């Protein structure tokens, strides 16, 4: 399992860039608001210093009248600052809510859109649970980072800078004392916070392991019961669970102690600043500052307040470390999915509805029962070829991985309207051939022609439109039975759907379901038997009414009697069209026009059932049970 949790270089930059692309207007406004808010929230110290200075000067004589005006003025200014700050804060908090959720949605959509365009190879070679975790775990880690950490970091950064300037304005010596504290806090954060981040990432990996194990066992829970294997799986689970516990405990220990540690370093720093201040006051150390003010209580008190604020902000930044590290690791993975190379499609030949006018093929918009390949040439002219379903493979070699050829030198031809069957043991390459015809995978050597056109030249979408496919592992989607059938042809009417179901022999059991065609299916049709799911998949293909069809073990879980009924319906539907049938059950393929016996990636025999039986070759042996292909 690819369970890497690392922060890749340049991720933060890319994330910020992409967010600016998502919100080119709103995000800059938010940034301005945050800066504004941060600056304003550092200013009160100045007013406070002034007010305290005034109080300081006049508290002994008790003369309120003489200072009331000026204090009132400062308070008023302060109020204005606060109102502005509130307005900014209100605005950016609400905008940030929009931006956070919006960015997550846009990233999600971007991932999903990208994913739809990935080649089948990607889904075959990646663990599905792992793909899912892009959408769940990884995106979720981004939420806190975007909504809280980034604004917090910006805000704190600005506050700290502003405070630093104000401090320098009052006293450079005292500022140095504060800076000393900051260095210590930085070191502590690096050590403790770094440990916390490290273990949080490890915790994610451990969690992934638990998830994988639980999924595997839950999937086979019935087998566990049958073999009374509960105790063994418990002890294995305990082992993995305990290792997750130890990582989680350590991660949280680091994370939970960082706050109190920094907080109290802040307190101690406060004492040090107070003592230094007191010492300076007493020793009458000449001040050095940008304001030129002399040391006085009215400098030391706000300075102390600023020290607290300073430390507080550093503390808050440190609290975001985990969120940032995990968020960046998540973002790295999200980008990994977005960056996957999409399925290339350089084809230009398209499939169109057509009708024949005076022997000429003419393109038309409405659905006729005739299709044509539209072939645009380099010189701008267009030729039409009638879709017939003539498929030829010439000297095809193929392997899923390099240097491991699965198909060797395959040549075959299917004439329009023929029913072609592939027979052979598992692993002989039956499914692989169909993967190549609809270009789920591209061939390494040789050529495949569809109605005389090299399939590389046909647009993938159109090629696949021309081929219906029913697979052994049926995938149904959450929704009603009717919606699932309609998946084959989105604008099909209810009548068309139930007609297709009748053809597929599915109508009977559907009407016996509690709500008939409106019965809700979920969990890949968990409430149906495997055979019933296959019947639905066939109905779905039937409503699509494709010019050619591939049935890959499509009836393997249907009993032979029902299969015979399905077969009659399918034969009626596919009359005059090319059908490829893959089955290990020979009764399924017997009535095919041509049967090809595949053995270890090569065609061993070719002919009709009668011819092959008469040949007394491999098919005959297979049929009579005297030979094993494996």
Partner 1 sequence: MPIYKVLAKSIREFKTPSIKAPVYVSFEVVMECIIPFIIAMLVNQIKAGGEFGVIARYGLVLVIMAALSLTFGTLAGMSCATASSGFARNLRKDLFYRIQTYSFENIDKFSTSSLVTRMTTDVSNVQNAYMMIIRTAIRCPLMLVFSFAMAFIMGGKMAFIFLFVTPLLGIGLYLVIRKTIPLFRKVFRKYDALNNSIQENVAGMRVVKSYVREDYEKEKFERAAEDVCGDFTRAEKILAINSPLMQFCLYTVMIFVLYFGSYTIITSRGLDLDVGQFSALLTYSFQILSSLMMLSMVFVMITIAGESAHRIVEVLDEESTMKSPEGGLTLVKDGTVDFEHVSFKYSKEAERMALEGIDLHIKSGETIGIIGGTGASKSSLIQLISRLYDTTEGVVKVGGADVREYDLEALRNQVAVVLQKNVLFSGTIKENLRWGNKDASDEELEEVCMLAQADEFISRFPEKYNTRIEQGGTNVSGGQKQRLCIARALLKKPKILILDDSTSAVDTKTDALIRKALREYIPETTKIIIAQRTASVEDADRIIVMEGGTVLAIGTHQELLAGNEVYRDVYVSQNKAGEQNEE
Of 78, 3, 72, 93, which is closest to residue 41 (Cα–Cα)? Answer: 78
Our finding on whether 39 is near partner 1 (CB under 8 A) is: no
Restricted to residues 570-599, the positions that interact with partner 1 (CB under 8 A) are 584-585, 587, 590-591
Say how many Å lie between the first and final Cα of the chain, rounded. Answer: 30
Of 261, 257, 264, 265, the C-alpha closest to 196 is: 257
Closer to partner 1 by Cβ: residue 168 or 207: 207
Least separation, in Å, of the C-beta of 75 and partner 1? 5
How many beta carbons lie within 10 A of that of residue 159, not counting itself? Answer: 20
C-alpha span between 595 and 597 (Å, rounded): 6
Interface of this chain with partner 1, residues 436 to 495, rule: CB under 8 A: 438, 440, 461, 464-465, 467-469, 471, 475-478, 487-488, 490
Residue 406 DSSP one-character state: S
- Give me the phi and psi of 311, to 5 degrees please: -60, -40
Contacts of 260 (CB under 8 A, 6+ apart): none
Please name the helix (run of DSSP H) or strand (run of DSSP E) that holds residue 615, with its range, or none.
helix 609-615
Among 4, 6, 16, 112, binds partner 1 (CB under 8 A): 112
Interacting residues with partner 1 between 205 and 264 (CB under 8 A): 207, 210-212, 214-230, 232-234, 237-238, 241-242, 244-245, 248-253, 255-257, 259-261, 263-264
Kindly tell me which of 134 and 335 has the beta carbon lying closer to partner 1. Answer: 134
Give yes or no for residue 9 binding partner 1 (CB under 8 A): no
Q: Is residue 352 near partner 1 by the rule CB under 8 A?
A: no
Cβ contact 542:566 at 8 Å: no
Among 125, 368, 511, 529, the residue binding partner 1 under the rule CB under 8 A is: 529
14 binds partner 1 (CB under 8 A): no
Q: Per CB under 8 A, does 615 bind partner 1?
A: no
Smallest separation (angstroms) from partner 1 to the CB of 55:
5
Told to check if 509 binds partner 1 by CB under 8 A, we report yes
Q: Does residue 191 bind partner 1 (CB under 8 A)?
A: no
* Beta strand segments in 510-577, E: 520-521, 548-552
Helix (H) or strand (E) segment spanning residue 89: helix 64-116
DSSP 3-state of 381: coil
Interface of this chain with partner 1, residues 282 to 321, rule: CB under 8 A: 282, 297, 300-301, 304-305, 308
With CB under 8 A as the contact rule, which of the stretches 20-28, 97-105, 165-173, 367-375 interacts with partner 1?
A: 97-105
Q: What is d(CA 531, CA 369) in angstroms, rounded to the nearest whole number? A: 31
Q: Do 506 and 540 meet the contact criterion of CB atoms below 8 Å apart?
A: no
Please state the closest distance from residue 454 (CB atom) to partner 1, in A.
20
Q: Is 120 in the site for partner 1 (CB under 8 A)?
A: yes
Q: Does 113 sit near partner 1 (CB under 8 A)?
A: yes
For residue 476 the two structure tokens come to 């149904």
Nearer to partner 1, 456 or 621 (CB): 621
Residue 278 in contact with partner 1, rule: CB under 8 A: yes
Which of 320, 563, 574, 595 binds partner 1 (CB under 8 A)? It is 563
Question: What distance in Å separates the CA atoms of residue 474 and residue 392, rounded to the nearest whole number?
Answer: 28
Which residue intervals of 284-389 are DSSP H helices? 297-319, 321-338
Q: What is the 3-state secondary structure (H, E, C) of 428-467?
A: CCHHHHHHHHCCCCCCCEEEEEECCEEHHHECHHHHHHCE
Residue of 62, 286, 292, 378 interacting with partner 1 (CB under 8 A): 62
Question: CB 54 → partner 1: shortest distance, Å?
Answer: 7
Stretch that binds partner 1, among 17-25, 124-132, 178-186, 320-328 (CB under 8 A): 124-132
* 382 lies in the binding site for partner 1 (CB under 8 A): no
Question: How far apart (Å, rounded) are the C-alpha atoms in residues 199 and 291?
Answer: 47
Query: Per CB under 8 A, which region of 15-23, 175-183, 387-395, 607-615 contacts partner 1?
Result: 607-615
Axis-axis angle for helices 230-283, 321-338 (nearest 10): 130
From candidates 51, 324, 497, 598, binder to partner 1 by CB under 8 A: 51
> Which of 4, 59, 179, 187 is the binder for partner 1 (CB under 8 A)?
59
- Which residue of 161, 454, 511, 524 would you call a contact of partner 1, by CB under 8 A? 524
| β 391-398/407-414 pair status | antiparallel
Let me know: does 591 contact 473? Beta carbons within 8 Å: no
Contact between 368 and partner 1 (CB under 8 A)? Answer: no
Residue 132 binds partner 1, judged by CB under 8 A: yes
């Amino acid at each position: 399992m690819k369970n890497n949790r690392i922060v890749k270089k340049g991720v933060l930059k890319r994330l910020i860039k992409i967010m600016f692309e998502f919100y080119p207007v709103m995000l800059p406004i938010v940034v301005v608001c945050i800066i504004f808010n941060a600056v304003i929230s550092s200013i009160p110290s100045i007013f406070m210093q002034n007010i305290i200075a005034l109080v300081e000067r006049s508290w002994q004589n008790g003369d309120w009248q003489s200072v009331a005006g000026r204090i009132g003025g400062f308070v008023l200014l302060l109020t204005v600052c606060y109102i502005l700050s509130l307005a900014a804060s209100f605005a950016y908090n609400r905008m940030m809510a929009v931006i956070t959720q919006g960015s997550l949605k846009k990233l999600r959509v971007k991932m999903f859109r990208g994913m739809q365009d990935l080649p089948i190879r990607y889904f075959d070679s990646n663990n599905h649970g792992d793909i899912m975790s892009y959408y769940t775990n990884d995106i979720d880690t981004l939420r806190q980072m975007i909504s809280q950490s980034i604004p917090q970091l910006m805000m704190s950064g600005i506050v700290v800078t502003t405070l630093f300037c104000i401090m320098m304005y009052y006293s450079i010596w005292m500022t140095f004392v504060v800076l000393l504290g900051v260095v210590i806090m930085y070191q502590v954060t690096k050590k403790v916070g770094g440990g916390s981040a490290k273990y949080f990432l490890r915790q994610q990996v451990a969690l992934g392991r638990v998830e994988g194990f639980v999924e595997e066992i839950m999937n086979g829970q019935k087998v566990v019961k049958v073999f009374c294997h509960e105790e063994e799986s418990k002890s294995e689970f305990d082992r993995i669970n305990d290792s997750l516990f130890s990582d989680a405990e350590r991660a949280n220990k680091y994370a939970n102690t960082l706050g109190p540690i920094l907080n109290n370093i802040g307190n101690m720093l406060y004492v040090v600043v107070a003592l230094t201040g007191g010492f300076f006051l007493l020793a009458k150390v000449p001040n050095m500052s940008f304001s030129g003010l002399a040391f006085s209580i009215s400098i030391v008190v706000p300075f102390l307040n600023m020290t607290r604020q300073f430390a507080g902000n550093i503390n808050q930044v440190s609290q975001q470390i985990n969120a940032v590290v995990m968020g960046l690791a998540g973002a790295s993975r999200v980008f990994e999915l977005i960056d996957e190379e999409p399925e290339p499609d350089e084809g230009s030949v398209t499939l169109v509805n057509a009708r024949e006018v005076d022997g000429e093929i003419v393109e038309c918009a409405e659905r006729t029962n005739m299709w044509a390949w539209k072939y645009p040439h380099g010189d701008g002219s267009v030729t039409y070829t009638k879709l017939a379903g003539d498929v030829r493979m010439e000297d095809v070699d193929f392997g899923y991985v390099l240097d491991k050829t699965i198909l060797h030198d395959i040549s075959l031809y299917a004439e329009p309207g023929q029913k072609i069957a592939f027979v052979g043991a598992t692993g002989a390459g039956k499914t692989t051939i169909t993967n190549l015809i609809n270009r789920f995978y591209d061939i390494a050597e040789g050529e495949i022609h569809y109605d005389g056109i090299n399939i590389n030249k046909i647009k993938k979408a159109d090629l696949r439109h021309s081929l219906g496919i029913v697979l052994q592992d049926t995938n149904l989607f959450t929704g009603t039975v009717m919606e699932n059938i309609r998946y084959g042809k989105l604008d099909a009417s209810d009548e068309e759907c139930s007609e297709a179901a009748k053809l597929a022999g599915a109508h009977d059991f559907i009407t016996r379901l509690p709500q008939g065609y409106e019965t809700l299916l979920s969990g890949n049709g968990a409430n149906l038997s495997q055979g019933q799911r296959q019947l639905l998949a066939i109905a779905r293909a039937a409503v699509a009414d494709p010019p050619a069809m591939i049935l890959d073990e499509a009836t393997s879980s249907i009993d032979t009697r029902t299969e015979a009924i399905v077969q009659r319906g399918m034969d009626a539907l596919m009359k005059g069209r090319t059908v490829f049938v893959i089955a290990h059950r020979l009764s399924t393929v017997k009535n095919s026009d041509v049967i090809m016996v595949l053995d270890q990636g090569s065609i061993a025999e070719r002919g009709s059932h009668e011819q092959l039986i008469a040949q007394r070759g491999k098919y005959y042996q297979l049929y009579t049970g005297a030979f094993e292909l494996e």
